[in-house]
């Protein structure tokens, strides 16, 4: 029995030393064990990057195209973003210009993102998810951009060039917020990004 005394003592010492380290790791706010290794500067850069991405997409029309990339026939007539799997959301950038830019800017840098479209519905707002890569981490950042849709805005998915004004009620995800005017609705595109 005395033959193992030192070994037992060493195990006790090792447990003490490691538990000291674990305690310190738990006490610190951001460590390699946190959900996302991030700091304020990186979060700022990610936020500025997606704000710029939304500005660039709004400038060249990609953002409007992505919002109107709607297939009215799928999902038992409820419609979904064109080309999505059964879940109704893309798992990566959508197959249009906006998606290409999202993939080029964020996916290639190991940044995951969700995209949701928020639209007015009755008295409040409702959301239509466009891209879902998972649950954002604690260090996620987001940026939004509003897009105006008009009665004359045409759907951008292949094989359907009807305008929003020609669609029946319920075919498009957002309802006509003011049927008397040319403005169909103002929707808000939100990109939430976090490090994988």
Q: Out of 14, 75, 170, 178, point to the residue binding another protein (CB under 8 A).
A: 14
Q: Does 104 bind another protein (CB under 8 A)?
A: yes
Q: In terms of C-beta distances under 8 Å and separation of at least 24 residues, what long-range contacts does 28-35 make, across chains too?
A: 34/138, 34/139, 35/137, 35/138, 35/139
Q: Does 1 bind another protein (CB under 8 A)?
A: no
Neighbours of 156 (CB within 10 A): 19
* Minimum gap (Å) between residue 173 Cβ and another protein: 26
Q: Does 146 bind another protein (CB under 8 A)?
A: no
> Are 111 and 31 within 8 A, CB to CB?
no
Q: Tell me the window of 67-75, 100-108, 115-123, 178-186 that interacts with another protein (CB under 8 A).
A: 100-108
* Cα–Cα distance for residue pair 90/7, rounded to 1 Å: 56
* Minimum gap (Å) between residue 19 Cβ and another protein: 11
Q: Out of 41, 110, 122, 169, point to the residue binding another protein (CB under 8 A).
A: 41
* Minimum gap (Å) between residue 77 Cβ and another protein: 35
> Are 144 and 190 within 8 A, CB to CB?
yes
């Amino acid at each position: 029995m005395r033959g193992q005394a030192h070994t037992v003592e060493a195990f006790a010492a090792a447990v003490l030393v490691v538990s000291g380290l674990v305690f310190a790791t738990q006490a610190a706010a951001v460590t390699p064990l946190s959900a996302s290794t991030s700091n304020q500067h990186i979060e700022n850069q990610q936020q500025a990057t997606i704000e710029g991405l939304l500005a660039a997409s709004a400038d060249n029309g990609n953002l409007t195209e992505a919002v109107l990339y709607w297939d009215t026939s799928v999902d038992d007539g409820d419609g979904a973003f064109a080309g999505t799997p059964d879940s109704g959301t893309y798992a990566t950038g959508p197959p249009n210009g906006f998606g290409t830019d999202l993939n080029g800017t964020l996916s290639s840098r190991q940044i995951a993102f969700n995209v949701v479209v928020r639209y007015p519905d009755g008295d409040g707002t409702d959301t239509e998810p466009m891209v879902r890569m998972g649950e954002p981490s604690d260090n996620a950042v987001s940026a939004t951009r509003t897009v105006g849709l008009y009665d004359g805005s045409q759907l951008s998915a292949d094989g359907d060039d009807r305008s929003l004004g020609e669609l029946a009620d319920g075919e498009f995800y957002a309802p006509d917020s003011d049927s008397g005017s040319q403005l169909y609705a103002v929707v808000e595109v939100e990109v939430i990004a976090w490090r994988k």
